[in-house]
Amino acid sequence: MTVQTRPEPADAAGLQLDAYLPYRLSVASNAVSRLIARAYEDRFGLTIPQWRLVCVLAEDGPMNQSALVSRTGMDKVTVSRAAQGLTKRHLLERSENDRDGRSHVVALSLEGVRLHAEIAPLALAYEAALISGLDPHEVALLKRLLLRLQGAAGVLAGETPSPG
């Protein structure tokens, strides 16, 4: 019953895992994410979702959680939990939104701003190390292509096309 498939069936001849884009993408992303996640976790006790919230709030200023959801593309549950964790550490502050009793406005605290300023150079250093030796315009193209893939995946999944 066991089959020695050196020569694979004709139908499947075109498929090689190593050259399969979703595979390459996933493996590369996992490697990079693991690296980054470990750095933030070990040195600052931050998860990736938490770090993303900090970044967005530092860039764009206070907003409510649903704005964070659409801004980061993360699940609302993920955002909620990340915000809770950060609030517990007083890196975030949540104030009542008097225009809408359901939502709260989330903002970085002074300490949160300080942490962001501390991590940002490290984050940039990691990026620089990852792309060292690459042509800058190759990097730009890479980012464009990633956005493109993200958009295509969203469309194929039946989402309303938002990115790309």
Within 101-160, the residues that bind its own copies by CB under 8 A are: 107-110, 112-113, 116-118, 120-121, 123-124, 126-127, 129-132, 134, 138-139, 141-143, 145-150, 152-154, 156-157
Q: Which among 67, 34, 68 is positioned nearest to 50, based on CA atoms?
A: 68
Instruction: Report the alpha-carbon distance of residue 48 to residue 123 in Å, rounded.
Output: 12
27 binds its own copies (CB under 8 A): yes
Nearer residue to its own copies within complex by CB, 23 or 84: 23
Of the candidates 14, 101, 133, 158, which one interacts with DNA according to CB under 7 A?
101
Q: How far apart are CB 125 and its own copies at their closest, in Å?
A: 10
Of the candidates 31, 66, 70, 96, which one interacts with its own copies according to CB under 8 A?
31
The SS3 call for residue 94 is strand
Query: Of 34-53, which residues contact its own copies (CB under 8 A)?
Result: 34-36, 38, 48, 52
Q: How far apart are CB 101 and its own copies at their closest, in Å?
A: 19
Written as one string, the DSSP assignment of 42-64 is: HHH---HHHHHHHHHHHHH--EE
Q: How far apart are CB 130 and its own copies at their closest, in Å?
A: 5
Of the candidates 46, 50, 57, 83, which one interacts with its own copies according to CB under 8 A?
57
Of the candidates 7, 10, 88, 102, which one interacts with DNA according to CB under 7 A?
102
Instruction: Report the alpha-carbon distance of residue 127 to residue 129 in Å, rounded.
Output: 5
Query: Of 38-77, which residues contact DNA (CB under 7 A)?
Result: 47-49, 64-66, 69, 74-77
Which H helix or E strand runs over 92?
strand 92-96
- Evaluate whether 119 touches 40 at the Cβ level (below 8 Å): yes
Instruction: Report the alpha-carbon distance of residue 90 to residue 8 in Å, rounded.
Output: 58
